[in-house]
Amino acid sequence: AQSVTQLDSQVPVFEEAPVELRCNYSSSVSVYLFWYVQYPNQGLQLLLKYLSGSTLVESINGFEAEFNKSQTSFHLRKPSVHISDTAEYFCAVTQAGGYQKVTFGTGTKLQVIP
Amino acid sequence: EAQVTQNPRYLITVTGKKLTVTCSQNMNHEYMSWYRQDPGLGLRQIYYSMNVEVTDKGDVPEGYKVSRKEKRNFPLILESPSPNQTSLYFCASSLQGAPTDTQYFGPGTRLTVL
């Protein structure tokens, strides 16, 4: 079985400050890792994902996440946040092999303060 | 435009009155899934479908039914809704249901059962 832990339910941060949203996972087999973002009153959409290769993955809007196998983590970072980044962020994991059984974390609400 | 649509977006009903939430995708995806989102619990999978006429239970299937008669549609049926099914529901689809696939989400249906 797999699990995902997002310890921070809410993260307030001032505009233009850096932010890190934490994600840890547990799995007995190889995993693929995802970050999804949910803007207010919308469905989730993919922000970035790690499948293989370089452990650092980037999104088109300045977020990045690093896969750390030894620490079983996939933290999301942005060096300078904008008001428009206010949203809820979900870390998710799937296991190699089999079908797409996605396990989501409980989400972290990022509140960017002007 | 590639999208997943859900209807209705908002629904208030009473205990025991059967309802159906429709879901449709125009991306020719094989895999479709239903989730419910509850505060502090993240997204939990209700049912999924790997292809037409192939459906299976997710983590929280009790009280729900689904059908997949056409590739593009995946309705969620609550035959006798109860207040504990008050939640935000999301339909999602992906290309083949592979663990590396990105999921595409609908805008959500907020259901209240009185």
pLDDT tens, residue order, chain B (114 aa):
889 999 999 999 999 999 999 999 999 999 999 999 998 898 999 999 999 999 999 999 999 999 999 999 999 999 999 999 999 999 999 999 888 899 999 999 999 999
Among A17-21, A39-43, B72-76, the range scoring the smallest mean pLDDT is A39-43
* Mean pLDDT (whole number) for A37-63: 93
The answer, for A99 touching chain B at a CB cutoff of 8 Å, is: yes
pLDDT band at A2 (very low <50, low <70, confident <90, very high): confident
B34 with B85: CB under 8 angstroms? Answer: no
Instruction: Supply angle C-alpha A70, A75, A79, rounded to 5.
Output: 130
A37 secondary structure, DSSP code: E
* Mean pLDDT (whole number) for A9-14: 96
Q: Are strands A3-5 and A87-95 parallel, antiparallel or unpaired?
A: unpaired
Instruction: Supply angle C-alpha A98, B108, A90, rounded to 5.
Output: 55
Instruction: State the pLDDT at residue B25.
Output: 97
CB atoms inside a 10 Å sphere around CB B71: 15
Residue carrying the six token digits 């997943």: B4
Closest by Cβ to A90, choosing from B43, B48, B99: B43
* Mean pLDDT (whole number) for A99-113: 91
Q: Percent of chain A at pLDDT above 90?
A: 79
Tokens of B92: 């999602």
Query: Average pLDDT over chain B, rounded to whole?
Result: 95
Instruction: State the pLDDT at residue A41.
Output: 87
At B83 the three-state DSSP class reads helix
The answer, for B100 touching chain A at a CB cutoff of 8 Å, is: yes
Chain A residues near residue B29 by CB distance under 8 angstroms:
none
Chain A residues near residue B40 by CB distance under 8 angstroms:
9, 106
Closest by Cβ to A32, choosing from B44, B100, B106: B100
The answer, for A106 touching chain B at a CB cutoff of 8 Å, is: yes
Give yes or no for a cis peptide into B107 (omega within 30° of 0).
no
Contact A100 B94 (CB under 8 A): yes
φ/ψ of B84, rounded to 5, equals: -75, 0
Give B49-56 contacts, CB < 8 A, sequence gap 24+. Answer: B49/B74, B50/A99, B50/B97
Residue B48: which residues within 8 A CB-CB, separation 6 or more?
Answer: A99, A100, B31, B32, B33, B34, B55, B56, B58, B97
Contact A43 B4 (CB under 8 A): yes
Instruction: State the pLDDT at residue A60.
Output: 86
Residue B52: which residues within 8 A CB-CB, separation 6 or more?
Answer: B68, B69, B70, B71
Residue A100 has pLDDT above 80, yes or no: no
